[in-house]
Protein backbone atom coordinates (compact mmCIF):
# COMPACT_ATOMS: atom_id res chain seq x y z
CA UNK A 1 0.00 0.00 0.00
CA UNK A 2 1.27 3.50 -0.78
CA UNK A 3 2.69 5.56 2.07
CA UNK A 4 1.50 8.72 0.35
CA UNK A 5 -1.86 10.37 0.76
CA UNK A 6 -1.22 12.60 -2.25
CA UNK A 7 -2.73 11.80 -5.63
CA UNK A 8 0.26 11.13 -7.91
CA UNK A 9 -1.71 10.63 -11.16
CA UNK A 10 -0.02 13.46 -13.03
CA UNK A 11 3.14 13.77 -10.95
CA UNK A 12 6.54 14.00 -12.66
CA UNK A 13 9.58 13.63 -10.41
CA UNK A 14 13.20 14.49 -11.19
CA UNK A 15 15.80 13.08 -8.78
CA UNK A 16 19.21 14.78 -8.97
CA UNK A 17 22.06 13.02 -7.15
CA UNK A 18 25.51 11.92 -8.30
CA UNK A 19 25.56 8.83 -6.06
CA UNK A 20 24.27 5.71 -7.81
CA UNK A 21 23.56 4.03 -4.46
CA UNK A 22 21.29 6.90 -3.40
CA UNK A 23 19.38 6.76 -6.69
CA UNK A 24 19.00 2.98 -6.32
CA UNK A 25 17.43 3.51 -2.88
CA UNK A 26 15.40 6.65 -3.53
CA UNK A 27 13.83 5.89 -6.92
CA UNK A 28 12.29 2.48 -5.97
CA UNK A 29 10.91 4.03 -2.77
CA UNK A 30 9.30 6.80 -4.79
CA UNK A 31 7.83 4.28 -7.24
CA UNK A 32 6.28 2.31 -4.38
CA UNK A 33 4.77 5.41 -2.76
CA UNK A 34 3.75 7.19 -5.98
CA UNK A 35 3.07 4.30 -8.39
CA UNK A 36 1.62 6.42 -11.19
CA UNK A 37 4.28 9.15 -11.07
CA UNK A 38 6.82 9.40 -13.88
CA UNK A 39 10.32 9.45 -12.39
CA UNK A 40 13.54 10.54 -14.09
CA UNK A 41 17.05 10.97 -12.78
CA UNK A 42 20.11 13.15 -13.36
CA UNK A 43 23.58 12.79 -11.88
CA UNK A 44 24.96 16.22 -12.76
CA UNK A 45 23.74 19.78 -13.25
CA UNK A 46 24.19 19.77 -17.02
CA UNK A 47 21.88 16.77 -17.41
CA UNK A 48 19.43 18.21 -14.87
CA UNK A 49 19.14 21.46 -16.85
CA UNK A 50 18.24 19.50 -19.98
CA UNK A 51 15.64 17.46 -18.09
CA UNK A 52 14.11 20.62 -16.63
CA UNK A 53 13.91 22.26 -20.05
CA UNK A 54 11.95 19.44 -21.66
CA UNK A 55 10.37 17.55 -18.76
CA UNK A 56 8.82 20.22 -16.46
CA UNK A 57 8.80 18.14 -13.25
CA UNK A 58 6.25 18.79 -10.53
CA UNK A 59 8.84 17.73 -7.92
CA UNK A 60 12.64 17.99 -7.88
CA UNK A 61 14.57 15.91 -5.33
CA UNK A 62 18.05 17.40 -5.16
CA UNK A 63 21.33 16.88 -3.32
CA UNK A 64 23.26 20.01 -2.34
CA UNK A 65 26.61 18.64 -3.53
CA UNK A 66 26.60 18.07 -7.30
CA UNK A 67 29.01 17.93 -10.26
CA UNK A 68 28.59 20.49 -13.03
CA UNK A 69 28.87 17.87 -15.79
CA UNK A 70 29.42 14.09 -16.17
CA UNK A 71 32.65 12.80 -14.56
CA UNK A 72 33.36 16.17 -12.89
CA UNK A 73 33.82 16.32 -9.08
CA UNK A 74 30.80 17.17 -6.95
CA UNK A 75 30.85 20.36 -4.89
CA UNK A 76 28.42 22.22 -2.60
CA UNK A 77 29.06 25.45 -4.52
CA UNK A 78 27.77 23.93 -7.76
CA UNK A 79 24.76 22.39 -6.04
CA UNK A 80 23.84 25.57 -4.18
CA UNK A 81 24.17 27.71 -7.30
CA UNK A 82 21.93 25.33 -9.24
CA UNK A 83 19.37 25.27 -6.43
CA UNK A 84 19.38 29.08 -6.36
CA UNK A 85 18.76 29.15 -10.12
CA UNK A 86 15.95 26.64 -9.69
CA UNK A 87 14.27 28.72 -6.97
CA UNK A 88 14.53 31.85 -9.11
CA UNK A 89 13.19 30.16 -12.26
CA UNK A 90 9.64 30.60 -13.53
CA UNK A 91 9.09 26.82 -13.37
CA UNK A 92 8.74 26.92 -9.55
CA UNK A 93 8.67 23.11 -9.13
CA UNK A 94 8.11 21.67 -5.69
CA UNK A 95 11.52 20.90 -4.16
CA UNK A 96 12.90 18.37 -1.68
CA UNK A 97 16.51 18.95 -0.67
CA UNK A 98 17.90 15.57 0.34
CA UNK A 99 21.50 15.93 1.49
CA UNK A 100 24.04 14.86 4.09
CA UNK A 101 24.56 18.53 4.97
CA UNK A 102 21.58 20.88 4.78
CA UNK A 103 23.21 23.69 6.79
CA UNK A 104 24.04 25.79 3.68
CA UNK A 105 20.30 26.30 3.14
CA UNK A 106 20.46 28.99 5.83
CA UNK A 107 21.98 31.17 3.09
CA UNK A 108 18.76 30.91 1.07
CA UNK A 109 16.15 31.29 3.83
CA UNK A 110 14.67 34.58 2.55
CA UNK A 111 14.33 33.09 -0.95
CA UNK A 112 12.87 29.85 0.42
CA UNK A 113 10.31 31.67 2.55
CA UNK A 114 9.16 33.65 -0.50
CA UNK A 115 9.19 30.65 -2.86
CA UNK A 116 6.00 30.06 -4.85
CA UNK A 117 6.29 26.25 -4.85
CA UNK A 118 6.56 23.71 -2.05
CA UNK A 119 10.00 23.47 -0.43
CA UNK A 120 11.16 20.91 2.15
CA UNK A 121 14.56 19.69 3.33
CA UNK A 122 15.87 16.67 5.21
CA UNK A 123 19.08 14.81 6.02
CA UNK A 124 19.79 11.69 3.96
CA UNK A 125 20.24 9.68 7.15
CA UNK A 126 16.52 9.92 7.99
CA UNK A 127 14.20 7.02 7.02
CA UNK A 128 12.37 6.72 3.71
CA UNK A 129 9.02 7.16 5.48
CA UNK A 130 10.10 10.66 6.53
CA UNK A 131 11.10 11.44 2.95
CA UNK A 132 7.66 10.44 1.70
CA UNK A 133 5.96 12.50 4.41
CA UNK A 134 7.93 15.59 3.44
CA UNK A 135 7.31 15.04 -0.27
CA UNK A 136 3.59 15.09 0.48
CA UNK A 137 4.16 18.45 2.22
CA UNK A 138 6.02 19.78 -0.82
CA UNK A 139 3.37 18.57 -3.28
CA UNK A 140 0.77 20.47 -1.27
CA UNK A 141 2.86 23.63 -1.68
CA UNK A 142 4.03 23.73 1.94
CA UNK A 143 7.42 25.00 3.13
CA UNK A 144 9.24 23.01 5.82
CA UNK A 145 12.76 23.47 7.16
CA UNK A 146 14.21 21.41 10.02
CA UNK A 147 14.30 23.11 13.46
CA UNK A 148 18.05 23.75 13.32
CA UNK A 149 17.51 25.95 10.26
CA UNK A 150 14.29 27.62 11.39
CA UNK A 151 15.83 28.83 14.66
CA UNK A 152 18.80 30.60 13.12
CA UNK A 153 19.11 34.34 12.65
CA UNK A 154 18.39 35.80 9.25
CA UNK A 155 21.51 36.84 7.38
CA UNK A 156 21.34 39.58 4.78
CA UNK A 157 22.53 38.47 1.35
CA UNK A 158 25.03 41.34 1.28
CA UNK A 159 26.63 40.01 4.46
CA UNK A 160 26.87 36.57 2.87
CA UNK A 161 28.50 38.10 -0.20
CA UNK A 162 31.13 39.71 2.06
CA UNK A 163 31.87 36.29 3.57
CA UNK A 164 32.17 34.72 0.13
CA UNK A 165 34.47 37.40 -1.26
CA UNK A 166 36.68 37.31 1.85
CA UNK A 167 36.94 33.59 2.50
CA UNK A 168 36.43 32.13 -0.99
CA UNK A 169 38.28 34.74 -3.05
CA UNK A 170 40.61 36.12 -0.37
CA UNK A 171 39.79 39.79 -1.05
CA UNK A 172 40.63 42.62 1.33
CA UNK A 173 37.94 45.08 2.42
CA UNK A 174 38.88 47.67 -0.21
CA UNK A 175 38.56 45.11 -3.02
CA UNK A 176 35.30 43.79 -1.55
CA UNK A 177 33.90 47.33 -1.50
CA UNK A 178 34.90 47.86 -5.14
CA UNK A 179 33.34 44.54 -6.18
CA UNK A 180 30.09 45.30 -4.34
CA UNK A 181 30.14 48.96 -5.39
CA UNK A 182 29.82 50.31 -1.86
CA UNK A 183 32.15 52.21 0.48
CA UNK A 184 34.74 50.59 2.73
CA UNK A 185 32.79 52.01 5.66
CA UNK A 186 29.75 50.02 4.53
CA UNK A 187 31.84 46.86 4.39
CA UNK A 188 33.10 47.50 7.92
CA UNK A 189 29.47 47.89 9.04
CA UNK A 190 28.62 44.56 7.40
CA UNK A 191 31.41 42.91 9.41
CA UNK A 192 30.00 44.37 12.63
CA UNK A 193 26.52 43.09 11.80
CA UNK A 194 27.91 39.66 10.97
CA UNK A 195 29.82 39.60 14.25
CA UNK A 196 26.66 40.46 16.19
CA UNK A 197 24.46 37.96 14.31
CA UNK A 198 27.01 35.17 14.82
CA UNK A 199 27.51 36.01 18.49
CA UNK A 200 31.27 36.44 18.09
CA UNK A 201 32.99 38.40 20.89
CA UNK A 202 36.20 40.42 20.65
CA UNK A 203 38.99 38.50 22.37
CA UNK A 204 42.45 40.08 22.73
CA UNK A 205 44.38 36.95 21.78
CA UNK A 206 42.27 35.94 18.79
CA UNK A 207 41.92 37.30 15.25
CA UNK A 208 38.33 38.57 14.93
CA UNK A 209 37.89 37.78 11.23
CA UNK A 210 39.08 34.19 11.78
CA UNK A 211 36.57 33.79 14.62
CA UNK A 212 33.84 35.08 12.32
CA UNK A 213 34.93 32.60 9.65
CA UNK A 214 34.86 29.69 12.12
CA UNK A 215 31.38 30.64 13.35
CA UNK A 216 30.08 31.13 9.80
CA UNK A 217 31.38 27.74 8.67
CA UNK A 218 29.74 26.02 11.64
CA UNK A 219 26.39 27.48 10.55
CA UNK A 220 26.92 26.54 6.91
CA UNK A 221 27.08 30.16 5.75
CA UNK A 222 30.28 29.37 3.86
CA UNK A 223 31.48 26.01 2.58
What CA–CA distance (Å, rounded) separates 23 from 12? Answer: 16
**Cα–Cα distances in angstroms (integers) from residue 76 to residues 59, 65, 90, 100, 191, in the given order:** 21, 4, 23, 11, 24
Q: What is the pLDDT along the chain (223 residues), one digit of tens a residue?
A: 334 444 444 789 999 999 887 888 899 999 999 999 999 999 999 999 999 988 889 999 999 999 999 999 999 999 999 999 999 988 889 999 999 989 899 888 888 878 888 899 999 988 888 999 999 889 988 888 887 776 656 788 889 999 999 999 999 999 999 999 998 988 988 898 888 778 887 777 889 899 999 999 988 888 7
Domain 12-150 grouped into CATH 3.40.50.2300: yes
Global pTM? 0.69
pLDDT in the model for residue 8: 42
| Segments making up each domain of the chain, as ranges | 12-150, 157-219
pLDDT in the model for residue 198: 84
Q: What is the CATH number assigned to the segment(s) 157-219?
A: 1.10.10
pLDDT in the model for residue 5: 41
The DSSP code sequence of 50-98 is HHHHHH--SEEEE-SSB-SSTTSPPBHHHHHHHHHHHHHSSS--EEEEE
What CA–CA distance (Å, rounded) separates 190 from 21? Answer: 43
Amino acid sequence: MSLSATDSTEERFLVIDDHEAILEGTVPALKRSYPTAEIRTAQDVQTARTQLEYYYPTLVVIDLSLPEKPHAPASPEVGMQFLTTLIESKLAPNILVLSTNIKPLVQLKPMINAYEGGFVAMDKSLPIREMVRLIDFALRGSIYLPPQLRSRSEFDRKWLEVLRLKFHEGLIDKAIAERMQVSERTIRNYWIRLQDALGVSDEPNKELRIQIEIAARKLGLIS
